[in-house]
Amino acid sequence: MYANLLPQVLQLAREAGDAILAVYNTADFNVDMKADDSPLTQADLNAHKILEPGLLALLDGVPVLSEEGKLPDWATRKTWNRYWIIDPLDGTKEFIKRNGEFTVNIALVENGEPVLGVVHVPVLDISYTGVKGGGAFKYEKGQASAIHTRKMHARNGEPVAVVASRSHGADAVDALLAKIGAQLGEVQLKNMGSSLKLCLVAEGTADIYPRLALTSEWDTAAAQAVVEAAGGQVLTEKLDVMRYNTKDDILNPFFHVIGDPSFDWKALLAN
């Protein structure tokens, strides 16, 4: 069932990406600030206006939770067994900087688990998809190729590849990098914005992404579906698999995205 939805979801993500680029390619765009001091542009809103009605039409009676929509109260949300969760433009700060590191995130969550995810990168026209039981794929230049996370033993002497946020939780990440380096040898760090970081783990370009700062559930659900379908895991600081719609607020705990669950990360990651 989930795989049958993928073509339509992928098309919606691309349409939202085109709407974002229409704003991105203008000489100037207005930036407003939300109540939490996060930025908002017309591109965020235009993408939302494409995604919300499009997804509501795909599955009868399945609600959409969007960063740019109204957050229903917990009494309502806790009754949801299945729902869409979207970030129409993840990485608005990167959008404003015009560095291209922003994405469209769409996930279908069932009983707290992201079972389908699409992450679209408008500037590169690349999409990552993941479906529970159906594998993970990268769409580039009209071609789809299967992607898999990298096994630690397959590094063949290469450094441990770590991807991290450009602007959040730097001190805590530095401490973890020192710990990884002391036990596993050379570490290669790449800083990047948006949910692209999870996708690098999914495609085997990075081995781990530590996120030791706050995020919201719409920031991660789509890419978590891709990571899990590619063979990896997203674990909380307590090393439990991260799940969704389990509490009143929509903030994620700190987490680690790991490519190789068979590797003993616990000694390195456990507090």
Q: What is the mean pLDDT of residues 148-156?
A: 93
Q: What is the pTM (predicted TM-score) of this model?
A: 0.95
Q: What is the pLDDT of residue 271?
A: 65
| d(C-alpha 34, C-alpha 39), whole Å | 6
Q: What's the pLDDT tens digit per position in 219-262?
A: 999 999 999 999 999 999 999 999 999 999 999 999 999 999 99
What length is written for the chain?
Answer: 271
| d(C-alpha 194, C-alpha 211), whole Å | 11
| d(C-alpha 248, C-alpha 230), whole Å | 30
Q: Which one is predicted more confidently, 62 or 193?
A: 62
Output the CA–CA distances (angstroms, integers) from residue 170 to 163, 192, 199, 200, in the order listed: 12, 12, 20, 19
Q: What is the mean pLDDT of residues 89-102?
A: 91
Q: What is the mean pLDDT of residues 202-220?
A: 96
Q: Per-residue pLDDT for 139 more than 80?
A: yes
Question: In the predicted model, what is the mean pLDDT of the chain?
Answer: 93
Q: Per-residue pLDDT for 167 more than 80?
A: no
Sign of CA dihedral 13, 17, 18, 19: positive
Helical H segments across 100-216, by residue range: 170-184, 196-202
Q: Per-residue pLDDT for 197 more than 70?
A: yes
Q: What is the mean pLDDT of residues 42-55?
A: 96
Nearest in space to 122 (alpha carbons), one of 142, 98, 102, 143: 102
Q: What is the pLDDT of residue 168?
A: 59
Judged by DSSP in three states, 196 sits in: helix
Q: What is the mean pLDDT of residues 55-64?
A: 97
Q: Which one is predicted more confidently, 102 or 270?
A: 102
Tokens for 176? 């973890």
Contacts of 74 (CB under 8 A, 6+ apart): 247, 248
Work out whether strand 160-165 and strand 187-192 pair parallel, antiparallel, or are unpaired: parallel
Q: What is the pLDDT of residue 181?
A: 93
| d(C-alpha 32, C-alpha 36), whole Å | 11
Q: What's the pLDDT tens digit per position in 11-39?
A: 999 999 999 999 999 877 777 777 776 77
Q: What's the pLDDT tens digit per position in 96-120?
A: 899 999 999 999 999 999 999 999 9
Judged by DSSP in three states, 56 sits in: helix
Q: What is the mean pLDDT of residues 126-141?
A: 97
Q: With contact defined as beta carbons under 8 Å apart, do 72 and 83 qualify?
A: no
Q: Name all domains of the chain by residue range, CATH numbers in brackets.
A: 2-147 (3.30.540.10), 152-269 (3.40.190.80)
Q: What is the mean pLDDT of residues 82-109?
A: 94
Extended beta strands in 11-159, E state: 31-33, 39-41, 64-66, 82-90, 103-110, 113-121, 126-131, 135-140, 143-147
